[in-house]
Structure 1
Amino acid sequence: MLDLTSFRRDLHSYPETGFDLERTPRLIADVLANAGLEVVRGVGQCGIVATLRRGPDETAIGLRADMDALPIQEANGFSYRSTRDGLFHGCGHDGHSTMLLGAALKLAKDQTLKRTVHFIFQPDEENGNGAAAMIADGLFERFPMAAIYGLHNMPGMALGHFATQSGPFCAFEDNFEIMIEGQGGHASMPEKGVDPIVVGSAIVMQLQSIISRNVPPREHAVVSVTEFVTDGARNILPSNVTLRGDCRGFSQEVSQTLESRMRSVVEGVCTAQGAKGQISYSTSFRPLVNEDRATDTIAAAAGDVGTVDATYGRVGFSEDFAEFLVHRPGAFILMGNGLGGNNAMPLHNPSYDFNDDAIAHGVAFWVRLAHQNL
């Protein structure tokens, strides 16, 4: 019997990011193939789909875990810490993969299961490209399924507790880059130029008014400028400023409002100040919208193995699982990672760690969901 804790810690020690996954999917696929599942490798470059064929395609479901790590230097000092500088499983995808692997192994021995289950191990969730790559590679045509489900650990939530809700659940993430061209010069003679720092600062302040004056109070949105870059120096007024950041919300209408107003702000401020402005705006993650019936199904499974809040409310982070839900009904759920220590550190924190005690809860949940509503 595979020791799931040791397996999870091994994945943690050897993190891989994006589509640069070789060891992680190989280890997972080898275990599943040895257990007798049908394993297809290289779906969406380096994803895996392992199938347990026990029923018709009409009732088949997909269960998805992500495999990729983050480009973060780990701060933990335990024995299984990352061996790769600058790479770190700081979001718990090592635990997600281990729990789904454990469920697949358990279900492979369960002769009472009368449903086909596709176990989907996805690359590049963090950059929002892995789901689209698997879909483009024929995921839903090659592996027919009536619904698809996903799970993510939540630090600061009690072990054995789950949370979800019907409808919008995880936010979209839009990214922007604003390039401002002024006229640089000597710092002692700003009147002879057009200072793009002043222009950029005015834009930053105006962007904050979009939320308070253009987004209805019933909606949620965030606009964050995260980078302010210039080509100036100690006594040199810059000629160029670049602003970068991201926006969050829960509907396409809000996304369109943010983009439209941002373009108007940049154009208006630059025109008023005598500068030139250019903006690029793109979507990295769609809003994740849980289908009603699938939400009932996933909440019922969670309630059978633990406690569940089925009206948890929306969460502000984004999740690539949203892309799957554009193509198939399904739902996404959060699972407690514990209330203390490294297990309660925020996701993407250098001191975060997935809680090994959560593995059994996740395996039990996936197994119950596979049997749900047969």
Structure 2
Amino acid sequence: MPTIDRIDGYADELTAIRRDIHAHPEIGFEEVRTSGIVADKLKSWGIEVHRGLGGTGVIGVIKGKGSSGKRIGLRADMDALPMEENTNLKWSSKIPGRFHGCGHDGHTTMLLGTARYLAETRNFDGTVHLIFQPAEEGLGGARAMIKDGLFEKFPCDELYGLHNAPDLNHGEIAILPGPAMASADFFDLRITGYGAHGAMPERSKDAVIIATTLAQAIQTIVSRNVEPLQAAVVSITQIHAGSAYNVIPGEAHLCGTIRTFSKEVRTLISERIRTICAGIASAYQCVIDVDIRDTFNVLVNQVEQSKVVEEVARTIVNPANVITRTQPKMGSEDFADMLETIPGAYFWVGHDGSVPVHNPGFVLDDKILPIGASMFARIIETRMPAGGNA
């Protein structure tokens, strides 16, 4: 059984919606136009709409046939990235420094396709909560919605989300039970030493030397403190210091990220960074301010809901294209915070992309829009069948 025929019939409209959102990208918590499009579309299809949850979040509520009382949430992210686009497409970004380089415009559009289909057919017994989330890109949109009472106001028994995957072939769907995406901490290390003339280093507490020493020491954490069978990454991604050829700077700023699948390893790495900073500060007679922020939790797919995704995927695409033996991803996703509260699953929809996400040349293939929309719709009809038990 392929994608749902009725949803295939929406393909041109979905493509137009996606390209409009793509041309007008908005970053986290600024998705005013995007959330307006979402709300207007939902209302036009007779769907109950709630706005403003978590800032610019939108919730759509669709009630099916019967009175089972079961409730399932479907989530899509809406935000763009603060980067330039370099695709030369007719529908490329019209806003400098803003780009849907992760395909969230596609995710939003897929869920809109699902919404229209479910509103027209209502061939399910229960309630669907459509969750259009702001600010997934490291800004805490999921936590903002949860803090605003998302699951108290719109309770869910199960929860499903998806992401496009340019590293998979078109027509492939991947699902991994258990830990599927890493946690992420972001950190800032601010060094305060003592500046001096470049010709008089003995009078300085050289922030550049301290920063490079610190960067190298931190790189030993994974190789010498983390058990080899555990997966972990610590990356220094920025170093800022100095502004002149003949001045030794007294201040430096390092930024980076920690990724792992284990709470224990996550704690260990944070503690080691603090210990290393304290030791280097003592050795170099400087001050190092440490700020480590819990940004994303480990995304854990529940076995039951992962099996649902797998079985549904086999009805949407060629069963040979359903991938269940895949490696966990070191990337992170704040849908993890929702899955800590509600059992669910997060899956990937492939589209033959030659360029990865977060690259200026990333292009999402509109042909996958009906696939994602059909996946969501059939999950609902499978888990809350009209007149029957799931």
Indicate whether the TM-score tops 0.5.
Answer: yes
**Aligned residue in 2 for 1:327:** 341
1:317 equivalent in alignment to 2:331:
yes
1:135 equivalent in alignment to 2:143:
no
Q: 1:224–1:246: 8 Å Cα contact kept in structure 2?
A: yes
Q: What amino acid is the match of 2:270?
A: E
* Cα shift at 1:28: 1.4
Per-residue CA deviations over 1:4-25 (Å, capped at 9, x if unaligned) read 1111111111111111111111
In structure 2, distance between residues paired with 1:349 and 1:287: 24
SS of residue paired to 2:187: strand
Q: What amino acid is the match of 2:329?
A: V
Correspondence list, 1:156-175, <5 A: 156-175=167-186
In structure 1, distance between residues paired with 2:88 and 2:267: 45
SS of residue paired to 2:160: strand
Q: How many residues align?
A: 370
Match of 1:354 among 330, 352, 364: 364
In structure 1, distance between residues paired with 2:82 and 2:68: 38
Q: What amino acid is the match of 2:357?
A: L
In structure 2, distance between residues paired with 1:90 and 1:114: 37
Match of 2:351 among 317, 337, 341: 337
**Aligned residue in 2 for 1:367:** 377
Correspondence list, 1:98-117, <5 A: 98-117=109-128
1:152 equivalent in alignment to 2:163:
yes
User: Which consecutive residues of structure 1, in runs of 5 or more, have no partner in the other structure?
Assistant: none
Per-residue CA deviations over 1:281-336 (Å, capped at 9, x if unaligned) read 11111111111211111222122212311231200111010110111111111110
Per-residue CA deviations over 1:243-300 (Å, capped at 9, x if unaligned) read 1111111121111111111111111122222222221111111111111211111222
1:76 equivalent in alignment to 2:87:
yes
Q: 2:28–2:139: 8 Å Cα contact kept in structure 1?
A: no
Q: 1:111 to 1:119 in 2, by over 3 A?
A: closer
**Aligned residue in 2 for 1:208:** 219
Per-residue CA deviations over 1:32-52 (Å, capped at 9, x if unaligned) read 111111111222221111111
TM-score normalised by the chain length of structure 1: 0.95
SS of residue paired to 2:121: coil
* Cα shift at 1:156: 2.3
Per-residue CA deviations over 1:44-63 (Å, capped at 9, x if unaligned) read 22111111111547421000
Q: What amino acid is the match of 1:213?
A: R
Q: 1:10–1:80: 8 Å Cα contact kept in structure 2?
A: yes
Q: 1:56 to 1:147 in 2, by over 3 A?
A: farther
* Cα shift at 1:193: 2.2
**Aligned residue in 2 for 1:182:** 193
1:118 equivalent in alignment to 2:129:
yes
1:238 equivalent in alignment to 2:252:
no
Q: 1:349 to 1:57 in 2, by over 3 A?
A: farther
SS of residue paired to 1:344: coil
SS of residue paired to 2:125: coil
Q: 1:128–1:285: 8 Å Cα contact kept in structure 2?
A: no
Instruction: Pick which of 248-257 and 270-279 moved more.
Output: 270-279
In structure 1, distance between residues paired with 2:226 and 2:76: 34
User: Which consecutive residues of structure 2, in runs of 5 or more, have no partner in the other structure?
Assistant: 1-8, 384-389
Q: 1:96–1:152: 8 Å Cα contact kept in structure 2?
A: yes
**Aligned residue in 1 for 2:53:** 43
SS of residue paired to 2:130: strand
1:308 equivalent in alignment to 2:322:
yes
Match of 2:41 among 31, 37, 40: 31
In structure 2, distance between residues paired with 1:273 and 1:314: 40
Per-residue CA deviations over 1:121-165 (Å, capped at 9, x if unaligned) read 111111241111111222111112101110000112111211121
Q: 1:57 to 1:78 in 2, by over 3 A?
A: same
Q: Percent identity?
A: 39
TM-score normalised by the chain length of structure 2: 0.91
Q: What amino acid is the match of 1:13?
A: A
1:86 equivalent in alignment to 2:100:
no
**Aligned residue in 1 for 2:270:** 259
In structure 2, distance between residues paired with 1:272 and 1:137: 46
**Aligned residue in 1 for 2:387:** none
Per-residue CA deviations over 1:169-207 (Å, capped at 9, x if unaligned) read 111111111122222212112122221211211111111
In structure 1, distance between residues paired with 2:287 and 2:169: 52
1:225 equivalent in alignment to 2:239:
no
Q: 1:6 to 1:218 in 2, by over 3 A?
A: same
Q: 2:71–2:129: 8 Å Cα contact kept in structure 1?
A: yes
